[in-house]
């Protein structure tokens, strides 16, 4: 069995896929299988994939949406770890080796993300993704800030996913954000390797740029789930719950925005954590 399964869905990605595949095959860590799921491409994507003779590549052709493709990949994966990759990004040549070593040394890590450099086709650089350095403490609270992990940079522990029957849920464009939340609720720890191990392409044709409005709506849905979970799992929460309900009513009146609510409660709960830490008390749920 391979140590790692690299999972990469693609649809009509001929323009960038060769660069993405090459970056995987040139990894210094060699013990992996590479599952590529094509979701009904109508361009030259499939022919490019088939031009490779590397036996580690397993191509599955099917017509499905992105989330179903991801879950199909999870079910097929034979590796101890599952490394995500997108068809327009580029792996650092040491990425798999570094993440594998980290997760082998730290068996409590369920998901290991990395920092990522972002770039556009014209060669211009954008601000890098550089959230976190090591274990993400109070991960549920940190997730209230947003999707803090770079999805195509993560490596996940397959046994943890299988034991807790976790998979990507039907949250279009925010499926990874929802998965991190579910993993943390099950006791999984999130870790960020503080190295730039992925070059993340920013393209105007990306789904995440085309559907900004829907992503915003889905993000709000997940943040409301996270905030409700946090408020239900802290001591002396009655006042905060009443306050939350009042702020939801203000949102309906458009007096405040959902983001106002999230920022307010992130500050309140963060302060509560500081007070608890000062008193050496336990606040494990957050």
* CA-based nearest residue to 81, from 107, 49, 45: 107
Residue 62 lies in a domain: yes
Residues 188 and 165 in one domain: yes
Q: How many CB atoms lie within 10 A of CB 21?
A: 24
Among 179, 206, 233, identify where a domain stops: 206
Residues 126 and 217 in one domain: no
Number of H helices, E strands in the chain: 11, 10
Residue 82 lies in a domain: yes
Among 163, 179, 206, identify where a domain stops: 206
| Domain enclosing residue 162, as ranges | 4-206
Residues 111 and 236 in one domain: no
Residue 283 lies in a domain: no
Q: How far apart are CA 128 and CA 154, in angstroms?
A: 16
Residue 28 lies in a domain: yes
**Is the pTM above the cut of 0.85?**
yes
* CA-based nearest residue to 180, from 132, 127, 119, 234: 132
Residues 184 and 236 in one domain: no
Q: Which helix (H) or strand (E) holds 108?
A: none
Residue 271 lies in a domain: yes
Among 178, 206, 234, identify where a domain stops: 206
Q: Are strands 32-38 and 57-61 parallel, antiparallel or unpaired?
A: parallel
Residues 69 and 28 in one domain: yes
Residues 218 and 139 in one domain: no
Residues 202 and 73 in one domain: yes
Per-residue pLDDT of the chain (286 residues; tens, 9 = 90+): 999 999 999 999 999 999 999 999 999 999 999 999 999 999 999 999 999 999 999 999 998 899 999 999 999 999 999 999 999 999 999 999 999 999 999 999 999 999 999 988 876 767 888 899 999 999 999 999 999 999 999 999 999 999 999 999 999 999 999 999 999 999 999 999 999 999 999 875 554 444 444 558 899 999 999 999 999 887 667 888 899 999 999 999 999 999 999 999 999 888 877 665 555 444 444 5
Quick one: pLDDT at residue 205?
52
Contact 4, 83 (CB under 8 A): yes
Residues 21 and 158 in one domain: yes
Residues 217 and 261 in one domain: yes
Q: Which helix (H) or strand (E) holds 49?
A: helix 45-50
3-state DSSP of 149-213:
CCHHHCEEEHHHHHHCCCCCCCCCCCHHHHHHHHHHHCCCEEEEEEEEEEEEECCCCCHHHHCHH
Residues 47 and 170 in one domain: yes
Structural domains of the chain, count: 2
Query: What φ, ψ does residue 138 adopt, rounded to 5°?
Result: 50, 55
Residues 74 and 167 in one domain: yes
Quick one: pLDDT at residue 212?
46
């Amino acid at each position: 069995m391979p140590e790692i399964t690299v999972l990469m869905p693609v649809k009509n990605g001929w323009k960038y896929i060769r660069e993405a595949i090459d970056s995987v095959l040139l990894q210094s860590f060699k013990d992996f299988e590479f599952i590529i799921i094509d979701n009904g491409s109508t361009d030259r994507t499939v022919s490019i994939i088939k031009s490779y003779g590397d036996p580690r590549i397993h191509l599955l052709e099917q017509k499905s949406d992105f989330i179903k493709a991801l879950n199909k990949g999870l079910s097929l994966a034979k590796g101890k770890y599952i490394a995500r990759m997108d068809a327009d990004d580029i792996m650092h040549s040491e990425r798999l080796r570094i993440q594998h070593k980290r997760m082998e040394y730290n068996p409590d890590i369920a998901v290991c993300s990395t920092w990522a450099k972002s770039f556009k086709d014209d060669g211009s650089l954008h601000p890098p993704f550089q959230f976190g350095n090591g274990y993400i403490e109070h991960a549920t609270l940190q997730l209230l800030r947003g999707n803090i992990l770079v999805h195509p940079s993560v490596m996940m522990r397959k046994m943890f996913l299988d034991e807790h029957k976790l998979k990507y849920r039907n949250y279009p464009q925010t499926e990874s954000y929802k998965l991190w939340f579910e993993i943390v609720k099950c006791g999984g720890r999130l870790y960020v390797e503080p190295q730039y191990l992925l070059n993340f392409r920013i393209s105007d044709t990306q789904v995440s740029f085309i559907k900004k409005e829907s992503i915003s709506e889905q993000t709000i849905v997940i943040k409301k789930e996270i905030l409700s979970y946090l408020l239900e799992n802290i001591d002396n929460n009655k006042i905060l719950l009443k306050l939350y309900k009042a702020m939801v009513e203000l949102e309906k009146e458009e007096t405040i925005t959902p983001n106002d609510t999230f920022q307010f409660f992130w500050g309140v709960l963060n302060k509560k954590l500081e007070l608890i830490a000062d008193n050496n008390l336990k606040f494990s749920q957050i």
